[in-house]
Amino acid sequence: MEKVVNEENGVWELCPKCEYEVFILKNEVSLCPVCHERIIPCSMCTDCNDVVDGWCTKWNVRAW
């Protein structure tokens, strides 16, 4: 089942790795369909101390 894409549940952003436009879901790890980079939205971060050099050490993904 495909997820609903609208401005209430996420935002369109460029993938930090390949710059393909990806819909980043709020509160979920998103996956770039081109390069398969895992992207986490900042709304998932509960403790900013987990983000080191742009990477969330809790989820082992790029913080967005």
Query: Each residue's pLDDT tens digit in the chain (64 positions)?
Result: 556 666 678 888 888 899 999 988 877 888 999 999 988 776 666 566 777 887 777 777 776 5
Q: Are 64 and 54 in contact (CB under 8 A)?
A: no
Q: What is the pLDDT of residues 32-47, one digit of tens each?
A: 999 999 887 766 665 6
Based on C-alpha coordinates, what's the Rg of the chain?
Answer: 11
Q: Angle at the Cα of 15 (from 17 to 56), degrees rounded to 5?
A: 75
Which pLDDT score is estimated for 4? 64
- Report pTM: 0.60
Q: Is 5 inside a domain boundary? A: no
Is there a domain that residue 44 lies in?
A: yes
How many domains is the chain built from? Answer: 1
pLDDT value at residue 41:
76
Residue 46 lies in a domain: yes
31 domain-assigned: yes
Examine residue 2 and state whether it is found in any structural domain, yes or no. Answer: no
pLDDT at 34: 97
For 37, the domain range is: 10-63
